Structure 1
Amino acid sequence: MPLLFKRSLLPKLRSFALTPEAVSIVSSAAEFRRCLLAKIAAATQRIYIVALYLQQDEAGQEILDALHAAKLKRPELEIAVVVDWLRAQRGLIGAGKQPGNAAWYQDMTRTHQSEVPIYGVPVQTRELFGVLHLKGFVIDDSVVYSGASLNNVYLHKFDKYRFDRYHVLQNQALADSMHHLVKHGLIESKAVHRLDLPNLPSTRSLRNDIGDLRSRLKYATYDTSAGSTAREGLSVSPLLGVGKNNPLNRAILELIASAQQQLTICTPYFNLPLGVIREINRALARGVKIDIVVGDKTANDFYIPPSEPFKVIAALPYLYEISLRRFAKRHQRNIDSGQLNLHLWRDGDNTYHLKGMWVDQRYTLLTGNNLNPRAFRLDLENALLIDDPKGEWLEPRAQELENIFRHTTRIDSFHTLETLPDYPAGVAKFLKRVSRVRIERLLYRIL
């Protein structure tokens, strides 16, 4: 790999060796739910669930019931659920005043004989400026990794699903490393409290502890001392990042900079950071073929049909489409030549939540990072970088990409994307107002 950065990070990463059989890809949200429930039921040592949220709905209840059942069956099991502190204490956006999931957690603890502690991690004092966006469930010596949170749509409990990526890695060293960071780097912090117990402290009273936690997280890393810097075969490196210029951000930029033949990027919200756009432009100049897969605006999880009353949040998918159209217009020549391929994902009324990158025939990045300014500056993010220098894992990798592309349509021209006059009246009115007061750039940085 060419060293295109003065202080290159990728060659220094310590990784854990894998066999191709140790990495399996789950193809759908429904299969992911079944896989997760089966692994919880079979666990004998530990279950650490880390997600943005565990929702009070049928799928969330199924997961929490399974955790309590596992604890009753094996009292020695070490179980912890870790979610975002602020997200757990508010209702759904646009649904009016609600008690949030924390009230449900407390009710479950009160009515069950088994104990499943649920911890809230406050990454910031306000949700707008940063949330817990870590991914990965540690179950015994395996890591179940997905960008999905836990609710009906992410787990395809009923008729609709939210499409994501789902991987299971069987590796004790990786599981130990991720378990150690959550237990000692998060749960043991003074800022972190159990949400399933009553009398929660106010976020304001935790302000100093939250500041201390965020400061320490800026320098935190996964313990990879059991790994190696040798690149002798298939391996995986865990990455952590929060704030500007963190190691995960640097790795993402270096991966794009390392591409020589092929680069594929998935993101649900097309709002790329300037650093990512810069490296994409350089890759195009090098002759790299690039595929970018984004969700159609109707497949965005913030999309609200025009037939329903307008809410400000409903403008987000249109903002992302505006950003995509500008990008396509700037690169129309590359689109015409086939070097740049922009793909819109859409499958009925289902939604799209994929993130990650595939670089040449070597690197595969699993992550919950949305590749947007918020992920690069505000949220606590992580990723697993799979390195395959000998091409031992190419077939499953290709099958995952084929599954992703199944419901996509290539954008032949920026003209095919709608513009402001085509948008619903409420959306168009709001976006005109935003443009007039010049806060559009601020919105792109925090949403």
Structure 2
Amino acid sequence: MRTDFWKKTAAFGLQDDAVNILSNAADYKSQVLEQIAKAEQRIIITALYLEDDDAGREILAALHQASLTKPNLKITILVDYHRARRGRIGESKSEGNAKLYCEYNEKYNSNVKVFGVPIKAREIFGVLHLKGLVFDDILLYTGASINDVYVQQHDRYRLDRYFVLNQKGICDSIESFMNEIMLVSAATPRIDSRPIADYSEIKLAHKQLMRTLKKTKYKEPRASNKNQLSARMFLGFGRRGNDLNKLIKNLFDQTKEELVLYTPYFNFPAPLMRSLRKLLKHGKKVTIVVGDKTANDFYISPEKPFNTIGGLPYLYETILQKFLKSHNKYLEQGLLKVYIWKDNDNSFHLKGVCSDSKRHLLSGHNLNPRAWSLDIENGILLDDPNKTLEQRIEAEKVQILKHCIQINNYDELETMSDYPAPVQKILGKIKRVKGDIILKRFI
């Protein structure tokens, strides 16, 4: 693959002061509410979900109030269709978050519109994982969705990355994609007014939308970019012809000095694992920051009733432990640095790639097989040859590492024998039937 793969995509120019990095979940919430209040023309929110909880209700109410105050303000929300129509995992059957959307639509009667996007026939096989909140010409890009934990509504938080980009062309491109691809499809129904279309009613339109999405790219700028600092947008859906996957692999393969990776779930796809091994073999530095199993959003503390989904954080740790065991010499040499993030009962949701301090990928892509082949993902590559952003990126990293411990040897991680009995039982059963091989493709 050519070393300048990303340059096949035209770049949007960025001024040095057009990039701001927020450091925590509370600032993310403040920024969202501030931008809602400021917006005059358009608000576009794309997220996996907007939850029916205190934070979700507060932000959704602010959107409706803004619409009533400014009738010309166009407000569009896109969330995953299946996720919006079910309750949380483990809860009894319900209308899900769509109930909130319908109630607020009836209560406020504003111009806010909420649409549901089904990516696969069932949620387990793929979800809407596109990211980005547009407020006029400001893009707030984060892997976070909207709920109490993601915005630190109360005591707990789920840490992510939060970039604020002032770039009209990027916002225009996102709006074009939404209007010309997503919202023209009958497969993307309103989910804030009853009756909500059942999947069986949109099945044929959904198949066509999926074919279209696999061929779609974001619109590129018409004028050539003269700025050294620039941004390029990528869309990724499906295992084949996936530009975002190609970009990620290219960033891995073309790293000359150091690759920095953030991922909440340690489970790299085979092509990325091969690239990592090659980098280490050739003496390149690799830094990986991953959440502790207790910082995983599926973690269930031992004193609470256990269910099968609670085994996932332990499965991720076994994958990490196996990787470190086979690459322990690189840990000892200092080429491979692995940091485990843990802050009380808070959780970790960071993702991203940094190559040689010059190219920074902002994405919701978890660098796992699910993101690689099932979910629809997007990403923004910040190309910074003069390292204009280096101090800001490094300051973000320093903040993240404050709650990390560095692993110096693979045996510092717990193994199966250290896990609670219910976890040992479920993981043992999975491994006996080689179910872990299949399961890794979906997590």
The interval holding the TM-score normalised by the smaller chain is over 0.9
Runs of 4+ aligned residues of structure 1 deviating over 4 Å after TM superposition are none
The TM-score, its normalising length taken from structure 2, stands at: 0.98
Residue deviations 1:224-247 (CA, integer Å, cap 9, x gap): 03354x675000001101001300
- Partner secondary structure for residue 189 of structure 1: coil
Shift of 1:98: 2.3
Equivalent in the alignment of 1:361: 357
Counterpart residue identity of residue 188, structure 2: V
Structure 2 unaligned blocks of 5 or more: none
Residue aligning to 2:119: 123
> Which residue of structure 1 aligns with residue 163 of structure 2?
167
Partner of 2:78: 82
For residues 223 and 257 of structure 1, what CA distance do their matches in structure 2 show?
A: 26
Aligned position for 2:236? 241
Distance 1:37 1:6 in 2: 42
Would the aligned equivalents of 2:128 and 2:376 in 1 still touch at CA under 8 Å?
A: yes
* TM-score, scaled to structure 1: 0.97
Distance 2:112 2:226 in 1: 40
Identity among equivalent pairs (%): 42
Match of 1:199 among 185, 195, 201: 195
CA contact (8 A) 2:342 2:404 kept: yes
SS of residue matched to 1:193: coil
For residue 370 of structure 2, what is the aligned residue in structure 1?
374
Does the CA-based 8 Å contact 2:14-2:227 persist in structure 1? no
- The whole-number CA distance in structure 1 between the counterparts of 2:230 and 2:331 is 34
> 2: distance between equivalents of 1:391 and 1:253?
21
Where 2:153 maps in the other structure, the secondary structure is: coil
Secondary structure of 1:365's counterpart equals strand
Task: Give the aligned partner of residue 379 of structure 2.
Answer: 383
Q: Indicate conservation of the 8 Å contact 1:33/1:155, yes or no.
A: yes
Residue identity matched to 1:72: L
The residue matched to 2:340 in structure 1 has which SS? strand
Q: Counterpart of 2:81 in structure 1: which amino acid?
A: W
Match 1:144 to one of 122, 135, 140: 140
The structure 1 residue matched to 2:213, chosen from 210, 217, 223, is 217
What's 2:271 paired with?
275
Matches within 5 A, 1:309-388: 309-388=305-384
- Do the aligned partners of 1:125 and 1:204 also contact (CA within 8 Å) in 2? no
Question: Using the alignment, how far apart are the partners of 1:142 and 1:397 within structure 2?
Answer: 19
Code of the residue aligned with 1:226 in structure 2: it is R
Distance in 1, matches of 2:112 and 2:2, equals 47
Alignment pair present for 1:71 and 2:67: yes
More displaced stretch, 199-208 vs 162-171: 199-208
Other structure's SS at 2:441 match: helix
Alignment partners' CA distance in 2, 1:139 and 1:211: 31
Shift of 1:7: 9.1
Distance 2:287 2:2 in 1: 27
Structure 1 residues 65 and 136: alpha-carbon distance in aligned structure 2, compared to 1, 3 A threshold: same
Give the AA of the match of 1:236: A
Structure 1, residues 375-405: CA drift from partner, whole Å, max 9, x if none? Answer: 0000000001000012222111111111111
**Do the aligned partners of 2:39 and 2:135 also contact (CA within 8 Å) in 1?**
yes
Partner of 1:182: 178
Structure 1 residue runs of 5 or longer lacking an equivalent are none
2 CA distance for matches of 1:232 and 1:332?
A: 42
State the 1:97 CA deviation.
2.0
Structure 1 8/441 Cα, relative in aligned 2: closer, same or farther at 3 Å?
Answer: farther
SS at match of 2:156: coil
Amino acid aligned to 1:146: T
Deviations 1:290-311 (A, max 9, x none): 1000000000000000111111
**1:390 partner letter:** N
